[in-house]
Amino acid sequence: MEVIIQDSGDDVGRLAARIIARQLLKKPNSVLGLATGSTPIGTYRELVRLHSKEGLDFSQVTTFNLDEYLGLPPSHPQSYRHFMDEHLFSHINIPKGNIHVPYGHAEAIEQFCAWYEAEIVRCGGIDIQILGVGADGHIAFNEPGSSLGSRTRLKTLTEQTINDNARFFDSKDQVPRFAVTMGVGTILEAHRVLLLAIGGGKAEVVTKAIEGPITASVTASALQLHRDVVVIVDSEAGSKLARADYYHWVSEQKKRHLPGVEV
């Protein structure tokens, strides 16, 4: 696990986008795992900039989003599909048929979830998965107590998540109670994971996730088992890390002694 502490949230987005851009240059038909929430917005903004100003090509890219609220059609302004269209898909040259966002309106949820898992495998697996982390330590919508081996399925949201996400809706009552989400086990199969966190509100949960015990109570902590995770946080989200000095030291030593080696 490599932990990189950046000065600002904008720097977090720029670095994450640079890592993704490098992946696309290396493998133009990469499969990207995408997240929603406020955290990755800067990353998507930078990817859009790289596309429009520097010609970053998404024409062969395939994407799989982590999750979607149950019951919100793609056209709903608070659906994750709508979020992705607004922040990324409608600004880049990705073919619409290559985009996968769990369909939160599926009649047959179980069959849909099995299909989603199979589709990820059929496309060759996820090359890079972007993740944010919820205040309760969840990744995607894998709420505390989710099995660390879980797969794509229907999940009931916790009250904390409903409260946290109420800011995007007119009222708390409108926040769906259920979501379709990739499981922790699904996420752990991505070839590479970028965990992003911005702001002091995430400081405690980031510390628990990367320096605490591996536990289903903080599903992000399962990432400690993954062999290629890059954690990128701003200084506020990284402010409670016990090993912050070491993480800074590693970044400095790499810059100084391994200048050609990128994250």
Considering only residues 114-133, where is the footprint of ligand GLP by CB under 6 A? 132-133
Site stretch for ligand GLP (CB under 6 A), options 18-26, 34-42, 185-193, 226-234 = 34-42
Q: Give φ, ψ of 90 to 5 degrees.
A: -80, -5
Question: Distance between the two ends of the chain, CA-based, in angstroms?
Answer: 11
DSSP 201: G
Q: Is 143 a catalytic residue?
A: yes
38 binding ligand GLP? (CB under 6 A): yes
Q: Is 67 labeled as catalytic in the residue annotation? A: yes
Among 64, 112, 116, 141, the residue binding ligand GLP under the rule CB under 6 A is 141
- The angle formed by the CA atoms of residues 162, 168 and 169, to the nearest 5 degrees, is 75
Among 67, 143, 234, 236, binds ligand GLP (CB under 6 A): 67
Q: Smaller CB distance to ligand GLP: residue 148 or 250?
A: 148
Phi-psi region of 16 (alpha: psi -120 to 50; beta: other; left: phi over 0): alpha
66 scored as a contact of ligand GLP (CB under 6 A): yes
CB of 203 to ligand GLP, least distance (A): 13
Buried b (16+ CB within 10 A) or exposed e, 195-231: bbbbeeebbebbbbbbbbeeebebbbbbbeebeebbb
Catalytic, 87? Answer no
Out of 100, 138, 164, 234, pick the active-site residue.
138
Query: Active site includes 138?
Result: yes
Asked if 6 and 36 touch (Cβ cutoff 8 Å), the reply is: no
Using DSSP's 3-state secondary structure scheme, residue 183 falls into: coil
Q: In 3-state terms, what secondary structure has residue 79? A: coil
The nearest distance, CB 233 to ligand GLP, in angstroms, is 12
Region 206-245 residues binding ligand GLP, contact defined as CB under 6 A: none
Q: Do the beta carbons of residue 35 and residue 220 sit within 8 Å?
A: no
Q: Residue 37 interacts with ligand GLP (CB under 6 A)?
A: yes
State which residue, 67 or 234, has the beta carbon closest to ligand GLP.
67
**Of the residues 68, 117, 136, 236, which is catalytic?**
136
Q: Is 68 in the site for ligand GLP (CB under 6 A)?
A: no
What is the distance between the alpha carbons of residues 35 and 76, in angstroms, rounded to a whole number? 17
- Positions annotated as catalytic residues are 67, 136, 138, 143
The contact set with ligand GLP (CB under 6 A) reads: 35-39, 66-67, 132-134, 140-141, 161, 165
